[in-house]
């Protein structure tokens, strides 16, 4: 059963219209261990095709390959040009929307750099343009698992991902981060320093720590005065219950819209001018004392 939540207006104009609105949909995909990868990719493709028109769709971390299915990552890993992203690129083209396809287990192409630990595998997020082109990729920098899972099997990403995208409402600068990255404020500060207005954060965040997820998303949005779009998974797989509670947080730290713990779509329109007003009205970032603190 798919729930739909429409975001309430944080700052609607007097007549309810938006000056500079970016319409987004976050799909909180639920899955267990029984659904084959290709079936899930097909199911989610149909879901995106059936959405009302939006500027941007965001999918969760590793929704196809399994957020905690580390035992199978080596065998299911794909090139960025592989089947999963190729299918999602077709969906982006058909629907004419920006599609952040969540993340995949990326394997290195033959003869390509395999990373500093030589493993040739990454947790890679892929942002597709409405023309179905790979617009930007981001390899997760902070690996989760405390010595197991990601740090044992995957390479750590080394590069920030900041990119402009042209939407109906105009150009918007987005930054990419993934799940556990949310615990590292310095990454979000750097994205903010590069002019990011909207952070796109796919995740496979477990239920036992879902309050950390909610709190940290609000903190990252408030302290950097950016939008933070957090898209989590739902369901239980590999013995881990996912936390759901995807949320859209405004640059004020307020939650514009959120989901519960089951599968669902979060659809909302972001007033991008709100960010400019918040920064003008409360210019806290201008009061940083970086040299005093040794930066």
| Beta bridge mates, 172 | 165
Total binding residues toward ligand AKG, as defined by CB under 6 A: 10
Reported in sequence order, the residue ranges of 7-97 that DSSP labels E, i.e. its strands, are 21-28, 56-58
| Selected binder of ligand AKG within 31, 73, 98, 180 (CB under 6 A) | 180
As a whole number of angstroms, the distance between CA 65 and CA 58 comes to 16
Is residue 205 part of the contact set for ligand AKG (CB under 6 A)?
Answer: yes
User: Least distance in Å: CB of 125 to ligand AKG?
Assistant: 12
| Selected binder of ligand AKG within 179, 234, 270, 278 (CB under 6 A) | 179
Q: What is the DSSP letter of 173?
A: E
Using CB under 6 A as the binding rule, the residues of this chain from 105 to 164 that contact ligand AKG are 144
User: Least distance in Å: CB of 87 to ligand AKG?
Assistant: 23
Q: Are the C-beta atoms of 266 and 255 separated by less than 8 Å?
A: no
| Selected binder of ligand AKG within 162, 176, 199, 204 (CB under 6 A) | 204
The Cα-based distances of 105 to 27, 141, 213 in angstroms read 19, 14, 22
Sign of CA dihedral 167, 171, 172, 177: positive
Q: What phi and psi values does residue 70 have, to the nearest 5 degrees? A: -65, -25
For residue 102, which of 155, 70, 64 has the smallest C-alpha distance? 64
**Buried/exposed code over 112-137 (b: 16+ C-beta within 10 A; e: otherwise):** eeebeeeebbbbbbbbbbbebeebbb
In terms of CB distance, is 137 or 169 closer to ligand AKG? 137
Given 61, 155, 197, 258, which residue is catalytic?
Answer: 61
Q: Which stretch binds ligand AKG (CB under 6 A): 11-19, 25-33, 175-183, 261-269?
A: 175-183
Sign of CA dihedral 101, 47, 41, 1: positive
User: Least distance in Å: CB of 67 to ligand AKG?
Assistant: 6
Using CB under 6 A as the binding rule, the residues of this chain from 227 to 286 that contact ligand AKG are none
Is residue 29 part of the contact set for ligand AKG (CB under 6 A)?
Answer: no
Q: What is the DSSP letter of 53?
A: P
In terms of CB distance, is 47 or 205 closer to ligand AKG? 205
To the query of whether residue 179 is one of the catalytic residues in this protein, the response is: yes
Given 179, 197, 231, 263, which residue is catalytic?
Answer: 179
User: Least distance in Å: CB of 208 to ligand AKG?
Assistant: 8
In terms of CB distance, is 59 or 92 closer to ligand AKG? 59
Is residue 59 part of the contact set for ligand AKG (CB under 6 A)?
Answer: no
As a whole number of angstroms, the distance between CA 256 and CA 101 comes to 22
- How far does the chain reach from its first CA to its final CA, in angstroms? 50
Is residue 209 part of the contact set for ligand AKG (CB under 6 A)?
Answer: yes
Reported in sequence order, the residue ranges of 108-224 that DSSP labels E, i.e. its strands, are 121-128, 134-139, 161-167, 170-176, 198-202
In terms of CB distance, is 67 or 157 closer to ligand AKG? 67
Given 107, 140, 150, 258, which residue is catalytic?
Answer: 140
To the query of whether residue 197 is one of the catalytic residues in this protein, the response is: no
User: Least distance in Å: CB of 294 to ligand AKG?
Assistant: 27
Question: What does the binding site for ligand AKG look like in residue numbers (CB under 6 A)?
Answer: 67, 144, 179-180, 183, 204-206, 209, 212
Catalytic residue positions, numbered: 61, 140, 179
């Amino acid at each position: 059963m798919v729930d739909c939540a429409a975001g309430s207006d944080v700052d609607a104009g007097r007549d309810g219209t938006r000056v500079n609105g970016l319409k987004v949909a976050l799909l909180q995909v639920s899955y267990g261990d029984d659904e084959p990868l290709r079936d899930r990719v097909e199911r989610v493709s149909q879901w995106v095709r059936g959405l009302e028109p939006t500027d941007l769709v965001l999918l969760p971390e590793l929704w196809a390959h399994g957020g905690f299915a580390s035992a199978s990552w080596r065998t299911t890993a794909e090139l960025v040009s592989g089947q999963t992203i190729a299918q999602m690129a077709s969906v982006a083209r058909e629907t004419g929307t920006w599609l952040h396809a969540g993340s995949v287990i990326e394997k290195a192409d033959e003869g390509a750099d395999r990373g500093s630990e030589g493993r040739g595998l990454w947790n890679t997020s892929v942002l597709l343009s409405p023309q179905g082109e790979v617009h930007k990729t981001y390899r997760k920098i902070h690996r989760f698992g405390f010595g197991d899972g990601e740090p044992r099997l995957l390479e750590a990403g080394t590069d920030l991902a900041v990119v402009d995208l042209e939407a109906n409402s105009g150009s918007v600068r987005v930054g990419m981060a993934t799940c556990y990255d949310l615990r590292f404020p310095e990454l979000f500060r750097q994205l903010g320093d590069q002019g990011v207005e909207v952070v796109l954060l796919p995740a496979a965040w477990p239920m036992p720590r879902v309050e950390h997820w909610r709190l940290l998303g609000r903190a990252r949005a408030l302290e950097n005065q950016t939008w933070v779009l957090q898209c989590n998974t739902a369901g239980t797989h590999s013995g881990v219950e996912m936390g759901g509670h995807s949320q859209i947080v405004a640059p004020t730290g307020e939650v514009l819209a959120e989901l519960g713990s089951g599968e669902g779509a979060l659809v909302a329109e972001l007033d991008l001018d709100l960010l400019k007003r918040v920064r003008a009205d409360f210019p806290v970032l201008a009061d940083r004392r970086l040299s005093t603190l040794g930066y």
